[in-house]
Structure 1
Amino acid sequence: MRTYQLVATAASGIEAITGNELKKMGYNVQVENGKAYFTGTEADIITTNLWLRTADRIKIVFGKFEAKTFDDLFEQTKALPWEQILPMDAEFPVSGKSQKSTLYSVPDCQAIVKKAIVNRLSEYYHRRTRLPESGALYPIEVAINKDEVILTIDTSGFSLFKRGYRSEKGGAPLKENMAAALVMLTNWFPDRPFYDPTCGSGTIPIEAALIGLNIAPGLKRSFPSEEWNIFEEGLWDRIRNEAKAAANFDVKLDIGGSDIDPHVIAIAKSNAKKAGVAEYVTFKQLALADFTTTKEYGTIVCNPPYGERLSDQEEIEILYKEMGQVFRPLKTWSKYILTSELLFEEFYGERATKKRKLYNGRLRTDFFQYWGTRPPRIKKEIDANESKEK
């Protein structure tokens, strides 16, 4: 198999989590702002598309060079071996972006890259007429930053946050990959309780269940690169079947979610069913103020209304004060709250153990973390440590 320079793109603030996912999968990773670079084969393209929980897209980095003139952009783009990936009938739309660069006109850059690729392929395939572009889709992007050009080919198509299970959404829904990132930033283990008391359409509990059951998040969707001829026949099916076999449905999970709105609870149940985790997640209609539990050492993760989602500042203060009153007595529970409200700690009534800056779309938010007490070490572990000391 051929080896490619690949990049997993991610939202600002969670690229390190994406990088850690890749490292756990065995890749050498270089993390930059919004990106995690790694190398891999065709099999790795498939594997990362199916398994990465926090990434947006997997792209092939096909070219990187400096260009300050349109002639430079054209010639260096044309010099790349596009025929190694693009067949004669490839459909290859070109998108673009440019910042702090001499070539600042994005439409012109897109047109020049398109023309250069057409010329290259026409010469290679001995085409005297226009390329048909009637075959598989190969989305190409030209990104220019400080005169450095990076040309990529998108293997994912629409963003990886679109898992395929969320056909209905509540108000201001959290993207699936962001929800997964929130879960992965906590101290939760699948053998402990997990709860979201403002669950909306259920994305956070569903993503927790997918993690707990080791279900690959990309199993229920398709990718345009499945139609590419760079993959040997049957490779996509083999790796997808391996991913299906890796799921562990024998795990016992204690995951729940609630919301005051009965309509979104119905949506959450429907989404959980589509995701294949309905029997592992419990959803119920419940006001935040009515949430109580006798369980211990659990994890709460929630994305309560904030910012544009609640225009009434008085409502925000009441909600967050109520949250503090409900959560603070749960001393063994760790609580994680995502909000853009700068005065959250003041309303909640307690300073966070830790804060982490994240971007929910373009909105700057903070992930307020309140760590609970650790569970006691089991006797076997204590005895083992004591015997080592002797």
Structure 2
Amino acid sequence: MNKITLIATAAMGLEALVAREVRSLGYECEVDNGKVTFQADADAICRANLWLRTADRIKVKVGEFKATTFDELFEKTKALNWGDYIPENAEFPVIGKSVKSQLFSVSDCQGIVKKAVVEKLRHTYKRSTWFEETGPLYRIEVSLLKDIATLTIDASGVGLHKRGYRVGQGEAPLKETLAASLIMLTNWRPDQPFVDPFCGSGTIAIEAALIGQNIAPGFNREFASDRWEWIGKERWNRARQEVEDLANYDQPLHIIGSDIDHRMVQVAQDNADEVGLGDLITFKQMQVKDFTAKEEYGYVVTNPPYGERLSEKPLVEKLYTDMGRAFQELDTWSVYVLTSHEQFETFYGKPASKKRKLFNGFIRTDYYQYFGKRPPKE
């Protein structure tokens, strides 16, 4: 198998960031709604899973075709070379989704794809009996969009936002992939101060430390494709050695996370300790109105409370006012705030330099960007 087609799935609004990461790994790609597609060798499965900070999953694309009848779905699925990917002992459940397609029953589509794959593998492995499915996981997805069926195998397993360091969390934790995206949408450099004054469980600060020291976000976890025989342990060992070689553990960092809740400060510290970054990030209990900084050209990246419940709105709006007052003197600092509150700028006291629409889960938010003065050229 020389070249395979891979799909890096992305949250709405983050596709361009994922594409930038894919290209930085050396792969040309195409960008579409919710996904970035690229062709590469099997090494890319390992490298993409380990390195992509903003993607949700890596999938292997097995085939794509038009299907308006169940017979068509069955025959065209059966015609694909499933034996190139799935070994005889594999566990291969089928999941699915259907949008604006004549084949709208997802459960029926899943059953037909499962039956077609079984038929093809029986022929490939010359079996007359059912497969026991006791081996590695190869989760198949049938995705129908406007009558076009895309068949993929999930190479990640647990979603890529699960870095493996979260031993505790708050009520509404920010996904690690979104936290990394917020940082990568700034011009922050590791030699500049970085602050999250509403740190919660510490996700933004921890992601900043990983980025600052060029530590691959997947260094601390396993993936479904770790056990795929056609990739092999040698490829994974080589990819993980690259991760180790490129990490810059000597890069000094000045990262602070603060929160009004002392319990969340402890959770954030525990999470940072879990990932081995506890000594690099300073977590402390503090109200945003008390924030001061002697350093210049720093960055604030934060996800404050939104006030989604009516009863919380007055308190949240006062927080935004306090934030605006605390940061107004820091004219060399850049401030980035994610919130769903449509009047944020009014309470903050200043219009944003730029806004970007993003989704935090199912909540539509705006990313308010306030650009500070640029440091003098050296």
TM range (shorter): over 0.9
Q: Deviations 1:173-219 (Å, cap 9, x if unpaired)?
A: 10111000000001211111000001011000110000010101001
Residue 235 (1) aligns with residue 235 (2):
yes
Residue 325 (1) aligns with residue 325 (2):
yes
Contact 1:165–1:272 (CA under 8 A) maintained in structure 2:
yes
Q: CA deviation at 1:238?
A: 2.1
The residue that corresponds to 1:107 in the other structure is: 107
Q: After superposition, where does 1:1-390 map in structure 2 within 5 Å? A: 2-308=2-308, 311-378=311-378
CA distance in 2, matches of 1:311, 1:51: 41
CA distance in 1, matches of 2:95, 2:307: 31
Q: Which residue identity is paired with 2:371?
A: W
CA distance in 2, matches of 1:89, 1:247: 37
CA distance in 2, matches of 1:22, 1:125: 35
Q: Deviations 1:108-130 (Å, cap 9, x if unpaired)?
A: 00000000001111122121111
CA distance in 2, matches of 1:229, 1:99: 34
Tell me, what secondary structure is at the counterpart of 1:96? strand
CA distance in 2, matches of 1:304, 1:255: 17
Q: Which residue identity is paired with 2:60?
A: I
Task: Indicate the larger mover: 119-128 or 44-53.
Answer: 119-128
Contact 2:226–2:233 (CA under 8 A) maintained in structure 1:
no
Q: CA deviation at 1:289?
A: 1.1
Q: Deviations 1:124-172 (Å, cap 9, x if unpaired)?
A: 2121111111110001100001100000100000110000001211120
Tell me, what secondary structure is at the counterpart of 2:368? strand
Q: CA deviation at 1:256?
A: 0.7
CA distance in 2, matches of 1:120, 1:207: 43
Contact 1:352–1:370 (CA under 8 A) maintained in structure 2:
yes
Q: CA deviation at 1:232?
A: 3.3
Distance 1:90 1:310, change over 3 A: farther
Tell me, what secondary structure is at the counterpart of 1:234? helix
Contact 1:27–1:38 (CA under 8 A) maintained in structure 2:
yes
Tell me, what secondary structure is at the counterpart of 1:256? strand
CA distance in 1, matches of 2:265, 2:310: 19
Q: CA deviation at 1:42?
A: 1.1
CA distance in 2, matches of 1:374, 1:345: 22
CA distance in 2, matches of 1:297, 1:309: 35
Contact 2:199–2:258 (CA under 8 A) maintained in structure 1:
yes
Q: CA deviation at 1:27?
A: 1.0
Contact 2:196–2:256 (CA under 8 A) maintained in structure 1:
yes
Q: CA deviation at 1:278?
A: 1.3
Tell me, what secondary structure is at the counterpart of 1:364? strand
Distance 1:363 1:329, change over 3 A: same
Q: Which residue identity is paired with 2:201?
A: S
Structure 1 moving runs of 4+ over 2 Å: 307-311
Q: Which residue identity is paired with 1:105?
A: S
Task: Indicate the larger mover: 360-369 or 1-10.
Answer: 1-10
Task: Indicate the larger mover: 55-64 or 243-252.
Answer: 243-252
* Equivalent pairs, count: 378
Q: Which residue identity is paired with 1:296?
A: E
Contact 1:90–1:134 (CA under 8 A) maintained in structure 2:
yes
**Structure 1: unaligned runs, 5 residues or longer:** 379-390
Q: Which residue identity is paired with 1:301?
A: V
CA distance in 2, matches of 1:374, 1:326: 20
Superposition TM-score, scaled by structure 2 size: 0.98
**Structure 2: unaligned runs, 5 residues or longer:** none
Q: Deviations 1:257-314 (Å, cap 9, x if unpaired)?
A: 1001111111111111111211211111111111111111000000001143774221
CA distance in 1, matches of 2:196, 2:341: 19
Tell me, what secondary structure is at the counterpart of 2:248? coil
Contact 2:306–2:341 (CA under 8 A) maintained in structure 1:
yes
CA distance in 2, matches of 1:224, 1:291: 44
Distance 1:167 1:309, change over 3 A: farther
What root-mean-square deviation, in Å, do the aligned CA atoms of Structure 1 and Structure 2 show?
A: 1.1
Contact 1:51–1:217 (CA under 8 A) maintained in structure 2:
yes
Contact 2:67–2:148 (CA under 8 A) maintained in structure 1:
yes
The residue that corresponds to 1:381 in the other structure is: none
Task: Indicate the larger mover: 170-179 or 227-236.
Answer: 227-236
Q: CA deviation at 1:237?
A: 1.6
